Each structure stands twice: as structure tokens, then as C-alpha cells.
Amino acid sequence: MFVSRVVGDCPGCGAIQKFGNVFVRRDHVLRGCFQCKYSEHIPLPVLRKKVLYLDQCFFSHAFRAKEQRFVQAAEKLREVSALQLMVAPFSSIHEDETNQWKGHEEELMKFIRDISFGHEFEPDYQVERAQLCRAFKSFLSSGSSAFQLCEDDALEEKVHDWDEYLYITIPGCHGDTERIRNARRQSVEALVDAFDHWRKTPKTFEQQILLEMEEQARQYLRAYVDHSVKLGTGDFEALFTSPVISSYVEQLLEYVPQDQMKEGLKIIGNFVRSEHYNQIPYLWIGARVYACLNEEVQGGAYTNREKAIKKLQGLYGDIKHAATYAPYCDAIFMEKKMTAYLSGPRINLEKRYGVKLFSSETLDDFIAWMDQVIDEMTETHRVALSMIFPGVQREDNHAFARAILGKA
Ligand SMILES: [Zn+2]
């Protein structure tokens, strides 16, 4: 057998320094011998890592600007992740945004992957679709309208497996960089251009949320109809070129019972006006952030078009990061404006989803929180780590982490 980490002499054949770890698989370590077939199966305890989401601003500070406090935080994060107490997976949004950093994309993505130890969230569109489907199924069965959050929708189960860090990263299949950049600039411009209308037609917070929810539903239906019309007129290119959101309604229709198929779109129409739809996490969060922004605009903010476009250029990405992934996380690190929206009394994400919110203003708290997680490591956890990384144990948890990373 191929032994990756030697622990000593083989209990089977007695060969000197030929026995050790062959591999680590989610809940056990397999040990074996270089020379004979003797092996041992060592069970590992059930693990649940804390899940952290870092939005792009964290990487801008730590990687691009090389700000010392952020570099320190990133280092702490490597330690707490090396101890397998926490995981900070990267997402499809990171890949899209990183591609906008001309000339540094690969270096930055490597930095992000290093911090995530190769762990990844499900792509954002998949999370959105999974949430829509989950809510729709509950609607069809007249279940509770309270959304049942399910970690599988956003994270692969293996995120919580014990790792030995022999991961291989496969370069992501990136979207069309130029297209994403243009689409983003156009959407920010369109948003800012809508501000005049917002000012002239004042809405309450609740009214604005309703409008946002309706608009989103309209987009799903419109994308589906456009796609169907194209196919209906023989434009089969649409199968490859239609945006992914055109498939959402199609997928929902698959859940409609056969005998009600004729009424399919009507049922979906009722669904998007239901409380089941209103409770879908990424819509619930996104609509409220836009309603907060609307309130600021009505209050006289963002009157200078150019400045507004500049200031809000990251908004779409930031909302997407938070709305898609925050409910599945123990903590999320975001740009401070976003954190202010999400921690405010109207959204209060911490209360709703039990997620801690950190930003550059609370960077010290963020580091202290990671230290606390390291200090609270249990003895069972420590023993499991010493099975996975034989010979590197240290009394002090922080020193143990550095030793695993090969830094001590
Ligand atoms: Zn042996």
C-alpha cells in the first residue's frame, strides 16, 4: 500500500518505519504497510465545521491591497481551517468577480482556493433554483410557508468530512468575462437611472419589497416564455444560449401533478403571489436590501449619477453573495455598507438565520471569534487530528494549526 504519512513499525510484519496513513476518508483513517497487507481502520468522530462566507471585499483588502490586518485575518483563517474547525468555501460569484481583475485572476483565485482548502459552494443559480423548487413543492402540498432551509442546497456534504488536504483543484469554467462586466455596468446604470422614478413615486418599505418580489417573478416567467417562443419557432440555438433563469419555471412545471398540467402556469402564478414564495431566502434578503436602498434614495441620497454608479458598482455582486449564501453560514464577512443593511432591524440576518456578520469595521471581532473557535477545540477533535497528522501534535492549539500547515 502507498503510505503517505509514516507512524512507525508495522504491527503485522514488523517492518521498521513502514506503517502509516494510507488515506483519510470522511469518517475514518486507513493505515497500512509498505511491505505487507496488514491494515487498520481508525474511526473518526462526526464532524460539523463552522461555515464562513467571505465576500470579494475581504480578498480585495487581503490580496490586492495587502493590508496588514486583513493579511493577519487570512492567516488566522488558514489556521482555523487547518484544524478543520471551520471552512470558507469559495463560490461561483467569486470566480465571476475574480475574472474582472484583469491580470491577477489566476493569482487571486489561487489565494481564494488556498483559503478555502479547495472547498466550494454550489453555484449561485443552483442554490436559487433549489430554493424555488423547495418552496414550490411545499406550496403544492399545502405545507407550511416557512422556508425549510436545507444545507444540501448550497453545500456538498463532503464539506464536513475530515480532510487530509491532498486536494486537486480544477480550473473553473469561467463565464464570459466581458459579457459579465458589461451586464454588470448596464444593470448598475439602469438601477441608478431608475432613481428619478423612485423619488417621484415614493413607496413604503413594504410596498417596495412587494414590487421587487413581483419583478423577480416577472423575470422568471418572461425568461421562460422567451425561451419557449424561440424553441417553438425552430430556434434551437436557444437551448444553448438562453439564460439559466429561463429553466427555473420549466423545472417548477415538472412538479405539477400530471392531471393539473393544463393549469401549470396558473398554479405558478398563484405560487409567486403566495407566502411560500415570499419566504424564499435569497428573494427575501435581496428584496429588502433594494427596499433599504430605495429608502435612502427617497431620503435624498445618490443624486449625482456618476458618483452613484461608481459607489454602487459592486452592489449586485454583494447582494448576490449575501442573499444566496448567508443563510447557510455561521458567519459572513462583507463590505460594511452591506453589513449595515443586513444587521439593521428590518433585515436582522443574525436573528433570522443565526449568522454572524463581520466587516472591516469589526475585523478585530472577526479575528477574536476565530481565536475563540480555536481555543474551544475539544479533546476528541484533537485526537482525531493527531490520527490524520501523526507526529505534528502540539500542546497549544494555535501551534498545532501552524504545524499542520508546515509552519512550525
Ligand atoms: Zn507490514
pLDDT tens digits for 235-247? 888 888 888 888 8
List, for residues 277-320, the tens digit of each pLDDT value.
999 999 999 999 999 999 999 999 999 999 999 888 888 888 98
Centre a 10 Å sphere on the Cβ of residue 208 and count the other Cβ atoms it contains: 21
Ligand 1 center from residue 387 Cα (angstroms): 19
Distance in Å, CA 18 to ligand 1 centroid: 7
pLDDT of residue 385: 95
Residue 236 and residue 217: Cα distance in Å, rounded? 25
Q: How close is the Cα of 38 to the center of ligand 1, in Å?
A: 6
Distance of CA 119 to the CA centre of its chain: 10
Report the pLDDT value the prediction gives residue 361, as an integer from 0 to 100.
94
Give the residue-averaged pLDDT of 129-158: 93
Q: Tell me the average pLDDT of the chain.
A: 89
Of 9, 30, 29, nearest in space to 19 by CA: 9
Q: Give residue 32 CA to ligand 1 midpoint distance, Å.
A: 7
Cα–chain center distance at 113:
13
The residue type of 304 is: N
Give me ligand 1 centre to Cα 40, in Å. Answer: 11
pLDDT reported for residue 235:
86
Q: How far is ligand 1, taken at its centre, from the CA of residue 391, in Å?
A: 20
Ligand 1 centroid distance, CA of 36 (Å):
4
Q: Contact 151/134 with Cβ under 8 angstroms?
A: no
25 forms beta bridges with: 28
Q: C-alpha distances in angstroms, 352 versus 5, 8, 133, 317, 349? A: 44, 51, 21, 22, 5
CA 165 to ligand 1 center in whole angstroms: 25
Nearest Cα to Cα of residue 323 among 85, 137, 93: 93
pLDDT at site 374: 97
8 C-alpha vs ligand 1 centroid, how far in Å? 11
What is the domain partition of the chain in residue ranges? 5-43, 49-376
pLDDT digits (tens, 9 = 90+) for 72-108: 999 999 999 999 999 999 888 887 777 776 777 788 8
Kindly state the cell numbers that stand for 209: 419589497
C-alpha of residue 245 to centroid of ligand 1, in Å: 57
Q: For residues 185 and 258, what is the distance between their CA atoms, to the nearest angstrom?
A: 43
Tell me if 97 sits within 8 A of 56, measured CB to CB.
yes
311 Cα: distance to centroid of ligand 1 (angstroms): 65
Measured in angstroms, how far is the CA atom of residue 30 from the centroid of ligand 1? 14
Radius of gyration of the chain (CA): 25
- Residue 178, pLDDT above cutoff 70: no
pLDDT over 70 for what percent of the chain?
95
pLDDT at 177 over 80: no
Please tell me the distance between residue 405's alpha carbon and the centre of ligand 1 in angstroms.
29
Tell me how far the alpha carbon of residue 180 lies from the centroid of ligand 1, in angstroms: 56
**Between 93 and 132, where is the model more confident?**
132
**Which pLDDT does position 59 carry in this prediction?**
86
Strands of the 50-54 sheet, one edge to the other? 86-87, 50-54, 331-333, 356-358
From ligand 1's centre to the CA of 11, what distance in Å? 7
CA–centroid distance, residue 43 to ligand 1 (Å): 20
Q: Find cell 487498520 and name the residue.
A: 40
- Rounded to the nearest angstrom, the distance between the alpha carbon of 2 and the centre of ligand 1 is 12
